[in-house]
A and B are shown apart, each in its own frame.
Chain A
Amino acid sequence: MRTLSAENIQFIRNYLKNSDVFFIDVRLEMTDHVASAIEEKLNKNPDLEFYDAFKTYMLNHKQELLKSTSKHRWDLDKKALKVVGKNMFHPLIAGIFLLVLGVFYFADFSSINVEYILFPQALLGSCAILPLLIYRYLKVSFVHHLVFLIYMYNSFLVHFVIKATENNAFVFTIIALISLWINMSALKTIIESFRYYKTKFKEA
């Protein structure tokens, strides 16, 4: 049985990358799909060369293949959001949240300065972009979407919700603290996902 060489696989990967399949998690699955189809062709016709088989396959399937990769994968984003929800109850994240909540519980809300709460909130929001820069060579679809969602959430919060509630120190503080909690959990999810893909899927 003929199987593709490492060079053949690399050729498929490069082809997909050059066809705008940037995300590693999408490319991984597509590379295996194309490689399996080509191997089947080669085994049916032993005289066929890899490049000819590849060309024939792409002529017939490229459009459908790229259609599937360009589809926004809301389902995987949904899965990532579920992980964010789960991570909110991780002992470290929940512990920090409860600690901050405890500090504010004993505080006099009327004396709270808006900037004191907004500063860590804005800092954490910005932190979501940092892993993207650190792992810039590693593009994972749902992590990129998660960073975008968190950015949008923080923008919405700062521009609308917090501004609308800044005269009510209690409501304002609660919203800001819950957002801090969500941001911490999102950051943990983003870093964990990058680490996982870095160790497991680097070669994809």
Chain B
Amino acid sequence: MSNAKLYKGSLSTIILKLLAEGDKMYGYEITQKVKKMTQGELKITEGALYPALHKLEADGLLDVEVKKVDNRLRKYYKLTEKGTKESINKLAELERFIETIQGIVNPKPSLG
């Protein structure tokens, strides 16, 4: 993952956003979706993804469902009611952060 440290703080928000768009997703599916959406720019590693998912689960933002798929068990994650509300807050927070950084990187010329 390039610029891994820059993305690290946004991982939970990214997960919440993806789950808010879809119904339920499993770990590998999340990594592939992010890879596809960012044209391979952002690759979420196993070492970052699963601890983040477990933290969201422990915080009550995600619910877990286990299903048998293709000879194995698969753990699906979906948003809880609290998670749905939190995803909206987190996204707004991330947007504000991006705007702030944008203001630093590309400052608008002042009129005065």
- Minimum Cβ distance to chain A for residue B43 (Å): 10
| Contact B66–A67 (Cβ < 8 Å) | no
A65-B46 contact in complex given A73-B51, A75-B57, C-beta closer than 8 Å = yes
| Contact B27–A33 (Cβ < 8 Å) | yes
| Contact B71–A64 (Cβ < 8 Å) | no
User: Is A204 interfacial (CB 8 A cutoff)?
Assistant: yes
Q: How far is the CA of A16 from the CA of B31 in the complex (A)?
A: 20
Q: How far is the CA of A6 from the CA of B72 in the complex (A)?
A: 8
B residues touching A (Cβ–Cβ < 8 Å)? 26-29, 32, 45-51, 54-55, 57-59, 66, 69-75
User: Is A55 interfacial (CB 8 A cutoff)?
Assistant: no
CB-CB under 8 A from A79, the residues of chain B are 57-58
CB-CB under 8 A from B74, the residues of chain A are 32
| Contact B28–A36 (Cβ < 8 Å) | yes
Pull 9 A–B residue pairs with CB atoms less than 8 Å apart, ordered by A.
Answer: A5-B71, A32-B27, A32-B72, A32-B74, A68-B49, A75-B58, A76-B54, A76-B57, A203-B73
Q: How far is the CA of A16 from the CA of B50 in the complex (A)?
A: 16
Contacts A8-B71, A40-B32, A71-B51 supplied; 11 other A-B pairs, CB < 8 Å = A5-B71, A9-B71, A9-B72, A29-B50, A30-B46, A32-B72, A36-B28, A75-B54, A75-B55, A75-B59, A200-B66
| Contact B47–A6 (Cβ < 8 Å) | no
Which partner residue on chain A sits nearest B28 by CB separation?
A36
| Contact A68–B71 (Cβ < 8 Å) | no
User: Is A61 interfacial (CB 8 A cutoff)?
Assistant: yes
| Contact B54–A28 (Cβ < 8 Å) | no
| Contact A32–B51 (Cβ < 8 Å) | no
CB-CB under 8 A from A183, the residues of chain B are none
| Contact B72–A35 (Cβ < 8 Å) | yes
CB-CB under 8 A from A200, the residues of chain B are 66
Q: How far is the CA of A71 from the CA of B49 in the complex (A)?
A: 12
A64-B72 contact in complex given A32-B26, A37-B28, C-beta closer than 8 Å = no
